[in-house]
Amino acid sequence: MSASEPQFLDFGGGEGRRRLAYRLAGAREGASLGLIWLSGFLSDMASTKALALAAWADGRGLPMLRFDYSGHGLSEGDLLEASIGDWLGEAAAMLELLLAKTPRAVLIGSSMGGWIALLLARKLAAEGALAKLAGLVLIAPAWDMTERLMWDQMTEETKTALARDGVVYEPSLYGDPYPITKRLIEEGRGHLIGEGALPLDLPVRILQGMRDPDVPWPHALNLVEKIGSDDVELTLIKDGDHRLSREQDLRRLEAKVAALVAHSV
């Protein structure tokens, strides 16, 4: 298979079975650490940040796995039927693929991917397996997105339309209106971090733009207070937007990942 072609993982069973596209590069014998990229809502493994980080990792011989959630990119599945729980399960399966090649991983999550990273870390902590992670790098982490950043921001008229139609389409700064489904909101309530603490004893690095219209910077500050680890750093970028995909933002991301990798090996 060409290195430019994706691989596929069959995930789930019965009518919910779907093929998930992923790319795993740099896997080698004896690697002590790998990276896994967790995309944002409606983003994919070919985004600017994912590609830049993949090139950076390749140049340093670091294994890196990136993938498309169901209903996204090259993966199968219907976005209108998908949920946070689905994507969390898929992320857990992809992490296991990476951990078959290297004993520890750094989770790097952008926007919704930041929430998925936190949920995955919480799951591992509950299983006594948090040592599999060397740390988290989060970009504008949209934790509890479905409730705090979607449902709580809806007008009563929009909430009524969602209950009636099962889906509403919200305007986007980045392209076509995006769908918010009743299933996404209701299933998401089973994965909320809420007001409780996150018992995660590991390094966490957060990059957050202060001109982010989608994830307000106080949302990231609130997250810092919830994480149980003392080794948490929040970098506020005064002129930064939500995507943080400018050249200077990409270099910041690479520097944060590089420092965390150096600290962990």
pLDDT (tens digit per residue) in 24-48: 999 887 789 999 999 999 999 999 9
pLDDT band of residue 199 (cuts 50, 70, 90) is very high
pLDDT at 4: 64
Mean pLDDT of 132-160: 97
DSSP state of 154: S
DSSP state of 76: -
CATH architecture of 7-143+202-264: 3-Layer(aba) Sandwich (3.40)
Q: For the chain, which residues make up each domain, given as ranges?
A: 7-143+202-264
Q: At what angle do helices 112-126 and 84-99 cross, to 10 degrees?
A: 70
Mean pLDDT of 41-65: 97
Choice among 4-8, 84-88, 117-121, 198-202 with the minimum mean pLDDT: 4-8
Express each pLDDT in 203-220 by its tens digit: 999 999 999 999 999 999
User: Does residue 24 contact residue 63 with C-beta atoms inside 8 Å?
Assistant: yes
**Residue whose C-alpha is closest to residue 197's, from 225, 220, 217:** 225
Using the predicted structure, report yes or no on whether residue 2 has a pLDDT greater than 50.
no
Mean pLDDT of 60-72: 97
Q: What is the mean pLDDT of the chain?
A: 95
**Residue whose C-alpha is closest to residue 116's, from 38, 183, 190, 41:** 38
Choice among 24-33, 119-128, 157-166 with the minimum mean pLDDT: 24-33
